[in-house]
Structure 1
Amino acid sequence: MATPSAPEKSVSPIVVAGQLTLRTIRGRNGPFTVGRLATHLGVFEVKDPELEQYPEGKYDGQFIIRYIFPRSYPVGGGMRFEIRASLDGMTLEGIDKLSRDEARSFATQDVDPLDEELGAQPAAMPAKPAKASRPAKPAPVQASADPLVDTTPFGVDAPTPASAAASGSAEDGDAALFGLLWPLRESVRLDSTIDRRTFRAQIARLGELGYTLDYKTQEWSRQAELQPA
């Protein structure tokens, strides 16, 4: 588990020009996004939920830094230490692709921010059973009535929007997933302050519904369907 460290908040956020490099890494929960912000103040790791919706690449722009704090967590057989920046907003101006060296500069063993938020521990080696016994029948998992409350037990993959809607209509599943954003309009701005698992599910579902992200406006827009000739 990462060593807790309370961030030191400044009196007011700092606005700086810089370049945000985003890297998509595949973990046990699926793909997740980590960032690195280079500014005249220094280079900081960024793992804000909002980054989950942006494709991999290098983004130039203006960034509002809310606070900067140290963080450490176990990786492999040791510990990793980093200085993180928490963002209060950003205005992105352009995007470039990552070079191979830039992609490799990110640790592929990086901890998924979702696991970090849940306080996930590395899996322990199972103890040798003394005697075989009849397994107890697992208790059914009760679903939360609130779609923004994550009740998925640790170690169990969250249901995809498609499977979540299997017991009812797809519209019912989407209504539960998007909450106050439903019904979706032609342009949608997601709320990154909800729990990260739900936020990822919303991003995946918007892609399935034909929405794409405009990183400059930070809104998802439905693509016009091609008309038959």
Structure 2
Amino acid sequence: MAATSASETSVSPIVVPGQLTLRTIHGRNGKFNVGKLECQLGKFTIKDAELEQYPEGKYRGEFVLRYIFLKGYPVSDGSMRFEMRANLDGMTLFGIDKLSKAEVHSFAPQEVDPLDEEQGTQPAATPAKPTKASKPANPASVQALSDPLVDTTPFGVDAPPTVAPTSSGSAEDGDAALFGILWPLGESVKLDSTIDRRTLRAQIARLGELGYALDFKTQEWSREAELQPA
């Protein structure tokens, strides 16, 4: 479910029952999810792309652990934060509950967006220098150019035919480019969490706009799906 690095040790996947607490955070790249898994092996932070799809809540289920590793990253005050991370190979979810206030506050005030971890924080763009304002045209000339009753075509030159304006592209073309091989969408859709995380987030947002909802038990998006109670 997640890409690995050389610092992570590969082991045979372990299936453990546990509880996944998922928190949705609003960052500079938009919304992202951070999970905390509690199981018999300990407590681990999960930032797999698969979790981007799920609504905030507390999930009970079985989790397939593939990698367990120590992760360090800098925080805003200049210090380093270390936490135990785990990558998942899969999961089966049985139920969901709302987070308590204590569970919400158990997450760090400034969680790092996994998109920034994967791509690195990009520097702010330097604003372009304003261009020098051009001298305004003669009002009479502007009126003549914009007046449909005034013929400004040079003598001896045929006037070009009037062309109706067209849109640069339909929403359907944009959806086809966004979803790729998943397009056209069926009544149910299963997203591929191994694609670029930014593209995955765009697909999730677009599915919501098109009236799809995620069934967390089947891990598929459907037009009729509703979040099932625990």
Unaligned segments of structure 2, at least 5 residues: 132-166, 226-230
What amino acid maps onto 2:28 in structure 1? Answer: R
1:14 and 1:65 in contact (8 A); partners too = yes
2:36 pairs with 1:6: no
Aligned-partner SS, 1:194 = coil
Task: Quote the offset at 1:76 in angstroms.
Answer: 1.5
1:33 and 1:52 in contact (8 A); partners too = yes
Unaligned segments of structure 1, at least 5 residues: 127-133, 138-165, 225-229
Equivalent in the alignment of 1:18: 18
Equivalent in the alignment of 1:68: 68
What amino acid maps onto 2:192 in structure 1? Answer: D
Rounded to whole Å, the distance in 1 between the matches of 2:199 and 2:101 is: 31
Task: Quote the offset at 1:136 in angstroms.
Answer: 9.9
Aligned-partner SS, 2:168 = coil
What is the number of equivalent residue pairs in this alignment?
A: 184
**CA offsets 1:55-104 (integer angstroms, 9 cap, x no match):** 00000000000110111111121111011000000000000000011001
Alignment of 1:1-229 (within 5 A): 6-10=7-11, 12-77=12-77, 78-120=79-121, 135=129, 167-223=168-224
Aligned-partner SS, 1:8 = coil
C-alpha spacing 1:122/1:45, structure 2 compared with 1 (3 Å): farther
Task: Quote the offset at 1:223 in angstroms.
Answer: 2.8
What amino acid maps onto 2:44 in structure 1? Answer: F
1:57 and 1:95 in contact (8 A); partners too = yes
What amino acid maps onto 2:18 in structure 1? Answer: G
Task: Quote the offset at 1:121 in angstroms.
Answer: 6.0
1:25 and 1:108 in contact (8 A); partners too = no
What amino acid maps onto 2:42 in structure 1? Answer: G
C-alpha spacing 1:58/1:122, structure 2 compared with 1 (3 Å): farther
What amino acid maps onto 1:44 in structure 2? Answer: F
Rounded to whole Å, the distance in 2 between the matches of 1:215 and 1:207 is: 14
Task: Quote the offset at 1:108 in angstroms.
Answer: 2.5
Task: Quote the offset at 1:122 in angstroms.
Answer: 7.2
Rounded to whole Å, the distance in 1 between the matches of 2:187 and 2:19 is: 30
Equivalent in the alignment of 1:148: none
Identity %: 71
Higher strand share: 1
1:5 and 1:70 in contact (8 A); partners too = no
Rounded to whole Å, the distance in 1 between the matches of 2:169 and 2:206 is: 16
What amino acid maps onto 1:41 in structure 2? Answer: L
TM-score (norm 2): 0.75
1:5 and 1:69 in contact (8 A); partners too = no
**CA offsets 1:163-203 (integer angstroms, 9 cap, x no match):** xxx73001000000000000000000000000000000000
TM-score (norm 1): 0.76
Q: Pick the structure with greater CA Rg.
A: 2
